Structure formats: structure tokens, C-alpha cells
Amino acid sequence: MKVKAICTSCGRGKEYPAEVLARHPACIYCGAAMTMDQQSRESVQQARATQLAAGAPLQGTCPLCVRSRRVKFGEEIQCTYCGGLYVMYAEGAAGLPGPAGTVFQAQASAQALEIRPKVAEKLRAAVAGQEALPTAALAPVIAAVSWRYTHGNVTAEELGALAGLLGGALRWRQGALPADRSALPAGDTAEVVAQSICRDYRTATEMLPDGRAVARITTDQHTVSRTEGNAMVIGAAVGGLPGALVGAAMAQKGEHEVRHDLRVDLTPEPEGCALGFSGQWSTGEDQPMDEKQQALRHSILAALPGHGEQLAVLRAVYGTWFRPLSMVSLRRQALAARLAALGPGQEALLVLAPE
């Protein structure tokens, strides 16, 4: 059966098979929502129910970056673009991870208001002495965590961890840590540096078995021709292959790219990690940091506390699973929907997502 649907944004109207709209209920031209009469809507809902009963994948939308993909309802999904986690339920509601698998659109209850003073006490204790952060600034975070706590979306243990993370991040923002220290764990700091602060650069991160992490940011490069290249040096860059094999490859290709990286070593400490900076070529040779890398080092150290605070607040809103990569991809419309589900008084947190 075909139904008539009109886009709410671009105004294009078309007849679609009900089965098509059941799988992908958005405009094929601009991606906006479609509007239709009641009879057509019932036909689409019936087709959707049939597909669900048969286990067919349907179109799901990530509640962080708002990108769509085909998913199976009831199955936990990790977004391939932003790393966000969510579950699509049979009614099409995106659920976020948590002990109770809380449905994304659920509204705040009266119980959230009753428990809020207890949550507020924990969060305020974690940021005690921070005169630059008045109670009003904590109010949206307290409200968000209160809702999650009373809906089973955060455990008492996680609540304590969130309070500690938020307190550490805010003290960091107020200058309580040395310039070369991070209040975040080594892995999180590496991701913030590579995927948020330096997202316009070519970057890579690595977690080492001993808990240390490394972030590499490419600031320049040069090429080595086969006539001037050293096969053994190039061999180090490609995982220690024999120099003769690499030399043969160079002879075929003609030249090899050598990256100039700013290397950031992150060493775990009791409350966060220590940052060390050095220059290194992709061939493995250590080099003094050049002016560009020195300037980037300064920018990273200046930006880290603010990004750390942003990550801590977003984990309070979403959960400890929220990754630094998701900070960059989070869309304001998605954050607005999440904050609306957490109850009134959350608007101040909209600045955490780009327009």
C-alpha cells in the first residue's frame, strides 16, 4: 500500500510504499521528518509492527550525533561515527546505556526532586572551596544526575565517581594543578588531546600495557627519495622490516613520507596523569620541538582544563561511557532532547554542544 507523505522542512511530497516509510521515516531529499494523514500513519505503523515481528532491521538515529543507520531494535549499538552507545526499542525510542536501560524520552519524576538535595550534597562536597563556582552553576548538573539516579540510570557507586571527576575537573579549571598535569585518566586525556583539541590535525592515540598512553599529532612532513633515503631508517617506520625489502619498495614507489609529530606521553598518577611533550619523526627519531610544536604544546595545556570540565559535565548528563570523541560529534538538537528528558532547568548546559 502506498501513502502520501510531505516533508516538514523542504515541502516535497511523494507517494511511498508504507513499508519504505516504516524502515526510513524521513525525507529522502533533506532528511527531515515527514507528515501524513491519520490513515497513512496507521498504515505505516502496521507495516512497522510487521517488520519488527519479523526481526527486520529498521532505521535508527544516534541520540548524540543524529546520524542514522540500520539497526536491530533491542540491540545495543555503538555509533561508528561518534562512539556513542544506545539501544533502539520497538517503539523507536533511543535508549542510553545504564543499569536499567532507561528509555531516552522518559520524563523526570517527582522522586527526582526529592532525591536532588542528596545528590547536591555529594556534588557540592566534591567542589568545596571553589568560590568561582556558585551553587547556581551546579544546579543543571545536580538536576541531571538526580534524574539519572532516581531512574536507575546511575548507581550509587557511579554517583560517587562522577562527583570526584567533576570536582577534580573544576579544581583543575581553577588552576589547582600544575600546568603539565591532567585531572583526567591517561586514556581520556589522550583522546581529548587527539580528538577534540587537535581535531584539525592528523592524530593517533595508543594505550600501552602499563597504563600509559601516547598521543601523536602530525604538524609537518617531508619526503625522502630513494636516492637519499636510508633503507634501515625507513625500515623502522614500517615496523622493523628488513632494510633490503624496504629499499626495494622505495625503488618502486620513488619516495617515502616522513611525518613530524608532536608526541604527548601521558603517565598515570593517583589523581589523573602527567603530560610529557617531545618532537619525533615517524621513522622513530627523536627531534627537538620546532616553533609550531612549541606553540601547539602551549595551546594544548591551555585548552585541556576547559575540555576536561566539559567532559566531566557531559558524563554527568549521559554516563561514564561518554567518550571525548562524542564531545566533538554531539549535536545541539540531540543535547536539547536529552536535557528536556531530564526535566526543566537544564538550558544552561546547551552551550556544551555546537550549533
Average pLDDT for the chain: 77
CB 123 within 8 A of CB 142: yes
Quick one: average pLDDT of 278-282? 94
Of 132, 126, 131, 130, the closest CA to residue 142 belongs to 126
According to the 3-state scheme, what is the secondary structure of 275-305? EEEEEEECCCCEECCCHHHHHHHHHHHHHHH
In one letter, which amino acid is 200?
D
Give the pLDDT of residue 165. 80
Q: Is the pLDDT of residue 19 over 80?
A: yes
Q: What is the mean pLDDT of residues 46-52?
A: 78
For 280-301, what is the mean pLDDT? 94
Q: Are 140 and 348 in contact (CB under 8 A)?
A: yes
Q: How confident is the model at residue 176 (pLDDT cuts 50, 70, 90)?
A: confident
Query: Alpha-carbon distance 354 to 199, whole Å?
Result: 15
Considering only residues 204 and 102, tell me which one the structure prediction assigns the higher pLDDT.
204
Percent above pLDDT 90 for the chain: 22
- Would you say residue 263 has pLDDT above 90? yes
Question: From the centroid of its chain, how far is CA 309?
Answer: 14
- From 13-22, 123-132, 177-186, 292-301, the region with the lowest mean pLDDT: 123-132
pLDDT at 97: 59
- Torsion-angle region of 16 (φ positive above 0: left; ψ -120 to 50: alpha; else: beta): beta
Residue 234, pLDDT > 60, answer no
Q: Which residue would you say has higher pLDDT here, 237 or 181?
A: 181
Of 62-66, 176-180, 288-292, 341-345, the least confident:
341-345
- What is the model's pLDDT at position 101? 39
**DSSP string covering 214-273, please?**
EEEEEEEEEEEETTT--HHHHHHHTTS--HHHHHHHHHHH-EEEEEEEEEEEEEEETTEE
Closest CA to 326 of 25, 76, 96: 96
Q: Of the given ranges (56-65, 91-100, 178-187, 287-296), which has the lowest mean pLDDT?
A: 91-100
Residue 189 pLDDT > 80, yes or no? yes
> Which of 140-149, 248-257, 265-274, 305-314 comes out lowest in average pLDDT?
248-257
HSE-CB of 2 using CA atoms within 13 angstroms: 5
pLDDT band at 251 (very low <50, low <70, confident <90, very high): very low
Residues 194-211 pLDDT 10s: 989 999 999 999 999 999
> Which pLDDT band holds residue 137 (cuts at 50, 70, 90)?
low
More confident residue, 333 or 122: 333
Q: What is the pLDDT of residue 224?
A: 83
Residue 67 has φ and ψ, to the nearest 5°, of: -90, 145
Band (108; pLDDT cuts 50, 70, 90): very low
Q: Is the pLDDT of residue 243 over 70?
A: no
Give the pLDDT confidence score for residue 250 in this predicted structure. 47
Q: What average pLDDT score do residues 281-302 get?
A: 94
Over residues 331-346, the pLDDT tens digits come to 888 888 888 777 666 6
Residue with the three cell numbers 531512574: 151
Q: What is the mean predicted confidence (pLDDT) over 289-295?
A: 95
> Does residue 73 surpass a pLDDT of 90?
no
pTM: 0.68
pLDDT value, residue 122? 64
CB atoms under 10 Å from CB of 102, counted, come to 20
* 226 pLDDT tier (thresholds 50, 70, 90): low
CA distance 337 to 66: 11
